[in-house]
Chains A and B, each alone.
Chain A
Amino acid sequence: MSVELLPALTFAELFPNGIERYAVGGLLIGVGTAVIYLGTGIIAGASTFLESTWSYASNLPRFNQPKYLGSRDWRIVFTLGIVLGAAVYAVVFQGGAWTTDVQWWRLLGGGVLVGIGTRVGKGCTSGHGVCGVGSVSETSLVNVATFMAVAIGTAQLVQALGVTP
């Protein structure tokens, strides 16, 4: 009997909230990417928005490359779509606003590193993690393996230092 129970217990330990929300959410993220790709041929990542939007306010050459100037308008629309789509989820399923308990200095300091790292590393969780892995790109697979391993180590270190949340 214990042998039969073991897989169920292990599954519940690994996935205490089940997998339905995760799998369906992931599928929808992929469908959103696919809609844009099939309609326009564009592979949309989320982090380029940070730089292409800076081009409206800064003369730094990095921001004013043709590929950013030519995409900054639709990247704003894409980002607004992400915000609104999540808001629809919140209204329909969440029953109102939800706010994090993660401390502000973690969000701000870590956010700076995310802004630097995603732009230096040529992509983020959606660009490398979803679209690059979906393209079986070796560059993206190496990038994802790198940020995943470092993120796991960092999060566990922060937790071990007693910072919660």
Chain B
Amino acid sequence: MSAKQDRHPAFMLVILVGGLIFGFGLGYSHMARPEVVLNFLQFEDLGLLFVMGGAAITTGIVFAVATTVLDRAPLTGRAYSRRLKSFDKNVLVGGVIFGVGWGVTGICPGAAYASLGIGNVTILWAIAGMFIGSYLQAFWRARSADAGATTAASD
């Protein structure tokens, strides 16, 4: 489906460079420190608005230009598109659960990886938690799918 064989040799290099800049930005913005996120959520320092706003505006401009002016990405041949996901109840349920988690920890996935990079080994607790949480939801999805199949079969 993803046609790995169509990847240009520079594909992984570009992913790595993009990740490096992304991670450096998370470090520079201090968002990799849970305390800074918690200070934002507690209205003690609203600077985080500029992190998320600055990043969203930058990608917004690039997405808008690429989807109107450019055709296909050079390294994969993929057409440029925007990130449009379908809306359903899960978007709200997931948002609430993530919100509680973000409010408790002050950390989100990307910032957690960057936090490890700035030497914050304590963040491994949060990264372990995220892996556990992502496993649990996949386990529950499989169980409810099984339950659904069993119900359908017995009907």
Contacts and interface: CB of A to CB of B under 8 A. Distances in A.
A pairs with B? yes
Contacts of B19: 32, 36, 77-82, 84-85
Contacts of A118: 94, 98, 108-109, 130, 134
A134 B113 contact: no
Given A33-B22, A99-B120, A134 B94 contact: no
B145 interface: yes
Interface residues of B, number: 121
Interface string A32-59: 1111111111111011011101100010
B30 A21 contact: yes
B77 to A, nearest CB: 8
B141 to A, nearest CB: 5
A117 B114 contact: no
A58 B133 CA distance: 14
A114 B17 contact: no
A27 to B, nearest CB: 5
Interface string A84-126: 1111111001101111111010111111111111111111111
Interface of B: 1-2, 4, 10-12, 14-35, 38, 41-60, 62-63, 66, 70, 72-87, 90-123, 125-139, 141-142, 145
